[in-house]
Structure formats: structure tokens, C-alpha cells
């Protein structure tokens, strides 16, 4: 017998038939002798619709009221799922975020979970009742409804799993696991049986959309094993676990890509203390999120080139900020290139294997793909290349690292 938190996303509860299908799955898990709590998202499309209603009245409307409106989608899905479970003969009840409560900070629209008072859920589970809890919503310290930011239900589920001391958090979604690469591009991509938290974190933040990054951070912090699996097919998914729970030692676990980035280069920036701070401080203050940063060695000791990437939507804002600090950092000119993509190879095995970077660079070179920028971390190598080569690069690297099915 295990204590499990099951999470179902918006597509999985997209209509009444699908809600019945979810209820049947939950019942099967409970009937197998497990203690079960369920976290659900709003029915697909509902949150978008609610956000649209708020925007139609006032795009800059009070965020506390925005949260009251957009949290409503999850209120509907928890109630419907509880009814569907009851109609199958299960004892089930729903709680809203404020009722447990799911305690959050007061950053409305993007709240962080501080803790969940899960006594009621634990008692229900221990009695063999099925607790149904909404994702995405919580309550602020002053008692107002909050939401966690779009896609926040994964984080709700992992937080609940941590709070009830669950053995595992099963995230049911519309894909059947985590793949070595996006299967829509690389048809020979393989589903992974297991992946480490750290690798998943890199995959999630590098563009693989299976799990919300924050949920993986939460799982890593509380050591909650996650399983990603399909709500439509009855097959085992991918387990996200500690490194010591992984037996086979693959050097590279996956290849991710981050589209929608743009490269900005400052040519011949003054080479003296404080210049980087003068560039990236104002960018941060303007809310521009910077990803890769590369600074060259200065040839003459007087000036150097600085390259960094930002989201494509932020290019205009970034250029305006850079223009504003021109006198301070004395650059010669600035270049922006929006037609780039970042490709990352990810794997904890990199720590103990030599030649991983060389394999990447050689494989790309053989296809005539020019690498514009390189950055690395302990378990990741990322390159920036022209966007036109994205698909070729992903397939080439997938083969080069022996990941093809």
C-alpha cells in the first residue's frame, strides 16, 4: 500500500467524459489498496477564458480580483471530479485552496506556496476517502484568494505530496512520459524510464514542457519522487528520482531546445570593473530576463565583446535599456539577432565522462552547423545556433549520443 497524490492536467479533465475517465483511473488506484489524494487543473481552455474576461474589462485590473476570477476554473473541476467519483461508489470530497488552507505569499497572480495544512487530507486518506484538491490556488496571509501563475497545478500537486508525506506524486498528462528529445521533431526519440531531478530541472527550464520547472524544484527540495504518465494510455511513465536511484549510467539523458530566444551582442564594450554590472543591472530592473551571457577576453585590454540572450519579446525593451547606458559603458555598436535557437544536451553522466562536448561540436561541424555561443554547467552543454538548423541539429545530436530508438 502506498500513499499517492495523483495530478490531472486540463486536457485530462477537458470534458465530462474525460472527467469520468479520470474518476475511473483514480478509483482503480484506490481499489488497489492505496491512499489517494487528487489534484486537478481547470478544464482545458477555462483558465484562458477567465483571463480573457479580466483583460476585456481592464488589462491592469486589481490582481487580487484577477485571482478570484481565474481560480474559479479549478473550483469547477474539483467539484465535478468529486461527483464523478461518488457516482462510481467512491467516498470523495473536495476542498478549495483556502479551506485547507494552501498557504501562499501575497504575490497575487504569481504566488509561492509557503506550506499546506494537510491534516484534513491526511485524515480523509487514512479513512479510505479520496481527497480532491484544486491546483493553482491558495490563500494569502491576509486571507485573500491567490493563484500560483499559469501552469501552477504541477507545483500544487508536488507541494501536497510533500505535505502529506506521499510515497510518490503521479502527474497524469497528455504525453506518456519524458522523452530523450521532442518526439515531434526527432521521431526516434525514446521514452526515459527514469531521470534525475537535476536533469529534469534542466530539461524543464530548457524548453521541454512536460513539467513546470517550479514543481521540479519543489520535488527536489522535498525529495518527492514524481512519475509523469499518460491519462489516456495505460502504460508506465517516467520516474523523476534521486541520482542514486538510477542504475544504468547514460552519459546524456536528453536534448532540449529553447526557441523564442534572441541574441544581443555589444561590440567593443569598455573593459573595466563595473561594466557588466552597468549592463545587467538596468536590464534586470527593466524586468528583462537574461539567459546565456558570454564575455570575450579583451585583445587590447581596453575593450571586449559581450553577448547575451533574452526572450524574443524582450528584444525591443533590452535595446532601449542598452541605449540608455551607452555613455556609461562606451560600446561601439549593438547587434540583435532573433533567429537563433538554444540547443542543450543534458546528463549527470557528463560529470564522469570525458569528451561529451567534443562529440557535440564534431557532430554539428560535420553537418556544417555554425556554433555562435557555448555555455556549460556541470550537467549541461548549450549552444546557440541559427534557428533554421534546429531540426537537423536535434536529430544529428540524438544520433551522435546514441539515443536513437
Give the interface segment with ligand ASP, choosing from 24-32, 147-155, 198-206, 346-354 (CB under 6 A): 147-155
On the 0-12 / 13-18 / 19+ scale of CB atoms within 10 A, 72 is middle
Chain centroid, CA 285 distance in Å: 24
Give the interface segment with Mg ion, choosing from 4-12, 197-205, 211-219, 292-300 (CB under 5 A): 4-12
CB closer to Mg ion, 35 vs 74:
74
Which residue among 136, 179, 331, 389 contacts ligand ASP (CB under 6 A)? 136
CA atoms of 298 and 279, how far apart (whole Å): 17
Closest residue to Mg ion: CB criterion? 10
Residues near Mg ion (CB under 5 A), total: 2
Q: What's the min distance (Å) between Cβ of 236 and ligand ASP? A: 23
Query: Backbone phi, then psi, for 17, in 5-degree steps?
Result: -65, -40
Cβ neighbours of residue 362 closer than 8 Å, sequence gap 6 or more:
400
Cβ neighbours of residue 34 closer than 8 Å, sequence gap 6 or more:
1, 2, 3, 4
CA atoms of 286 and 315, how far apart (whole Å): 12
Three-state DSSP state, 312: helix
CA atoms within 13 A on the CB side of 50: 21
CA atoms of 193 and 225, how far apart (whole Å): 13
Which residue among 41, 46, 227, 309 contacts Mg ion (CB under 5 A)? 41
CB closer to ligand ASP, 153 vs 196:
153
- Partners of residue 333 on adjacent β-strands: 267
Give the interface segment with ligand ASP, choosing from 39-47, 88-96, 285-293, 325-333 (CB under 6 A): 39-47
CB closer to ligand ASP, 20 vs 150:
150
CA atoms of 261 and 294, how far apart (whole Å): 15
Check binding of 10 to ligand ASP (CB under 6 A).
yes
Give the interface segment with Mg ion, choosing from 2-10, 159-167, 228-236, 305-313 (CB under 5 A): 2-10
Q: What's the min distance (Å) between Cβ of 164 and ligand ASP? A: 19
Which residue among 14, 138, 151, 254 contacts ligand ASP (CB under 6 A)? 151
Query: Backbone phi, then psi, for 168, in 5-degree steps?
Result: -165, 150
Cα–Cα separations (whole angstroms), residue 1 to 30, 105, 136, 226 = 10, 35, 28, 17
Q: What's the min distance (Å) between Cβ of 318 and ligand ASP? A: 27
Closest residue to ligand ASP: CB criterion? 153
Cell of 309: 540572450
Residues 246 to 285: which contact Mg ion by CB under 5 A? none
Residues near ligand ASP (CB under 6 A), total: 12
Check binding of 14 to ligand ASP (CB under 6 A).
no
The helix or strand, by DSSP H or E, that contains position 391, with its residue range, turns out to be helix 390-400
Check binding of 10 to Mg ion (CB under 5 A).
yes
CA atoms of 333 and 203, how far apart (whole Å): 34
Check binding of 97 to ligand ASP (CB under 6 A).
no
The helix or strand, by DSSP H or E, that contains position 346, with its residue range, turns out to be strand 333-346
155 in Cβ contact with 147 (< 8 Å): no
Q: What's the min distance (Å) between Cβ of 402 and ligand ASP? A: 35
Largest Cα–Cα distance of the chain, in whole Å? Answer: 78
Which residue among 14, 97, 152, 347 contacts ligand ASP (CB under 6 A)? 152
Q: Which does 135 bind (CB under 5 to 8 A by kind): Mg ion, ligand ASP, none?
A: ligand ASP
Give the interface segment with ligand ASP, choosing from 144-152, 236-244, 305-313, 351-359 (CB under 6 A): 144-152
Q: What's the min distance (Å) between Cβ of 12 and ligand ASP? A: 10
- How many of the other CB atoms lie within 10 Å of CB of 297? 8
Give the interface segment with ligand ASP, choosing from 40-48, 182-190, 291-299, 332-340 (CB under 6 A): 40-48
Angle at 270 between CA 268 and CA 276, to 5 degrees: 105
Which residue among 14, 73, 138, 177 contacts ligand ASP (CB under 6 A)? 73
Check binding of 150 to ligand ASP (CB under 6 A).
yes
CB closer to ligand ASP, 77 vs 309:
77
Q: What's the min distance (Å) between Cβ of 9 and Mg ion? A: 6
- How many of the other CB atoms lie within 10 Å of CB of 376? 14
Binding stretches for Mg ion (CB under 5 A): 10, 41
Give the binding site for ligand ASP (CB under 6 A).
9-10, 41-42, 47, 73, 135-136, 150-153
Amino acid at each position: 500500500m502506498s500513499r499517492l497524490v495523483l495530478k490531472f492536467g486540463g486536457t485530462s479533465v477537458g470534458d465530462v467524459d474525460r472527467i469520468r475517465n479520470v474518476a475511473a483511473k483514480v478509483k482503480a488506484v484506490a481499489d488497489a489498496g492505496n491512499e489517494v489524494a487528487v489534484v486537478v487543473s481547470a478544464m482545458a481552455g477555462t483558465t484562458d477564458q477567465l483571463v480573457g474576461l479580466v483583460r476585456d474589462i481592464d488589462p491592469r485590473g486589481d490582481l487580487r480580483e484577477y485571482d478570484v476570477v481565474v481560480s474559479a476554473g479549478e473550483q469547477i473541476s474539483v467539484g465535478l471530479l468529486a461527483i464523478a467519483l461518488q457516482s462510481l461508489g467512491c467516498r470523495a470530497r473536495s476542498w478549495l485552496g483556502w479551506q485547507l488552507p494552501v498557504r501562499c505569499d501575497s504575490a497575487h497572480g504569481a504566488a509561492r506556496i509557503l506550506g499546506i495544512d494537510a491534516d484534513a487530507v491526511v485524515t480523509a486518506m487514512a479513512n479510505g476517502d479520496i481527497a480532491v484538491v484544486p491546483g493553482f490556488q491558495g490563500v494569502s496571509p491576509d486571507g485573500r484568494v491567490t493563484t500560483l501563475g499559469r501552469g501552477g497545478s504541477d507545483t500544487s500537486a508536488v507541494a501536497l505530496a510533500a505535505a502529506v508525506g506521499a510515497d510518490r506524486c503521479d502527474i497524469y498528462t497528455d504525453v506518456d512520459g519524458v522523452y530523450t528529445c521532442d518526439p515531434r521533431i526527432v521521431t526516434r526519440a525514446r521514452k526515459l524510464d527514469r531521470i534525475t531531478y537535476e536533469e529534469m530541472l534542466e530539461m524543464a527550464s530548457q524548453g521541454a514542457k512536460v513539467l513546470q520547472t517550479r514543481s521540479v524544484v519543489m520535488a527536489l527540495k522535498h525529495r518527492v519522487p514524481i512519475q509523469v504518465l499518460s491519462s489516456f494510455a495505460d502504460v508506465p511513465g517516467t520516474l523523476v528520482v534521486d541520482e542514486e536511484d538510477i542504475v544504468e549510467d547514460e552519459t546524456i539523458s536528453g536534448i532540449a531546445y529553447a526557441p523564442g530566444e534572441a541574441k544581443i551582442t555589444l561590440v567593443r564594450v569598455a573593459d573595466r570593473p563595473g561594466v557588466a554590472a552597468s549592463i545587467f543591472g538596468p536590464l534586470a530592473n527593466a524586468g528583462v530576463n537574461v539567459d546565456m551571457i558570454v564575455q570575450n577576453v579583451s585583445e587590447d585590454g581596453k575593450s571586449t565583446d559581450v553577448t547575451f540572450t533574452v526572450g524574443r519579446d524582450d528584444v525591443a525593451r533590452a535595446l532601449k535599456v542598452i541605449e540608455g547606458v551607452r555613455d556609461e559603458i562606451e560600446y561601439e555598436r549593438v547587434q540583435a539577432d532573433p533567429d537563433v535557437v538554444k540547443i542543450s544536451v543534458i546528463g549527470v553522466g557528463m560529470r564522469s565522462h570525458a569528451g561529451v562536448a567534443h562529440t557535440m561540436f564534431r557532430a554539428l561541424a560535420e553537418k556544417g552547423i555554425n556554433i555562435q555561443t557555448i555555455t556549460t554547467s556541470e550537467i549541461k552543454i548549450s549552444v546557440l545556433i541559427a534557428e533554421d538548423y534546429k531540426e537537423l541539429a536535434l536529430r544529428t545530436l540524438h544520433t551522435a549520443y546514441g539515443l536513437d530508438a
